[in-house]
């Protein structure tokens, strides 16, 4: 079974060793903007506990995390004036996971607007502008 590796990028963000455009933080979770957004306002929510994915996170921690995901998803929807929101979570490499600290994606969607291609770095100013809208919705 795969184990948690504390050298992953999200653990570094949580420890303050790497920068992130943060929109929400409390005792249990941190939400920040995806650097390769599939949509304007693409946000990630990570727990502060160490867990690799759905297979090793404690049920109580997952329960806490999904409440933060719901809280942030509501702000993403209203802040980004989205028509809908996709919540995604991937597990292990073949399951689409690239960063091995459990996280949920929140992607705002608008009627008629396609997702952006994967693997493309986002425009810094556009990411910051979306973050400001989401922070305002959370305030």
* Span from 23-31, 93-101, 107-115, 130-138 in contact with ligand 5GP (CB under 6 A): 93-101
Q: Which residues pair with 47 in a beta bridge?
A: 29
Q: Which of 42, 71, 101, 103 is labelled catalytic?
A: 103
99 binds ligand 5GP (CB under 6 A): yes
Structure tokens at 118: 């994967």
Helices (H), 1-139: 9-14, 59-79, 124-138
Q: Let me know: does 20 contact 13? Beta carbons within 8 Å.
A: yes
Applying CB under 6 A, the span of 57-65, 91-99, 108-116, 130-138 interacting with ligand 5GP comes to 91-99
Mask for 14-33, x = binds ligand 5GP (CB under 6 A): ------x-----------xx
For ligand 5GP, the closer CB: 98 or 136: 98
CA atoms within 13 A on the CB side of 52: 11
Q: Shortest distance, CB of residue 119 to ligand 5GP, whole angstroms?
A: 8
Active site residue 103: yes
Is 6 or 96 the residue whose CB approaches ligand 5GP more closely?
Answer: 96
4 binds ligand 5GP (CB under 6 A): no
What does the DSSP assignment read for 11-64?
A: HHHHTTSS---EEEE-SSEEEEE-SS-SSTT-EEEEESS---STTTS-HHHHHH
Cβ(43)–Cβ(34) below 8 Å: yes
Binding positions for ligand 5GP, rule: CB under 6 A: 9, 20, 32-36, 90, 96-99
- Which are the catalytic amino acids? 103
């Amino acid at each position: 079974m795969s184990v948690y590796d504390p050298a992953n990028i999200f653990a570094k963000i949580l420890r303050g060793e790497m920068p992130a455009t943060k929109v929400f933080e409390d005792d249990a979770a941190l939400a920040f903007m995806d650097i390769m957004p599939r949509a304007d306002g693409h946000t990630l929510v990570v727990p502060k506990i160490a867990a690799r994915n759905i297979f090793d996170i404690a049920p109580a921690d997952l329960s806490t995390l999904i409440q933060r995901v719901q809280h942030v998803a509501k702000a993403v929807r209203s802040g980004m004036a989205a028509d809908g929101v996709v919540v995604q979570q991937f597990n292990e490499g073949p399951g689409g996971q690239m960063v091995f600290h459990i996280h949920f994606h929140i992607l705002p969607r608008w009627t008629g607007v396609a997702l952006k291609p994967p693997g493309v770095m986002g425009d810094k100013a556009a990411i910051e502008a979306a973050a400001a809208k989401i922070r305002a919705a959370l305030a």
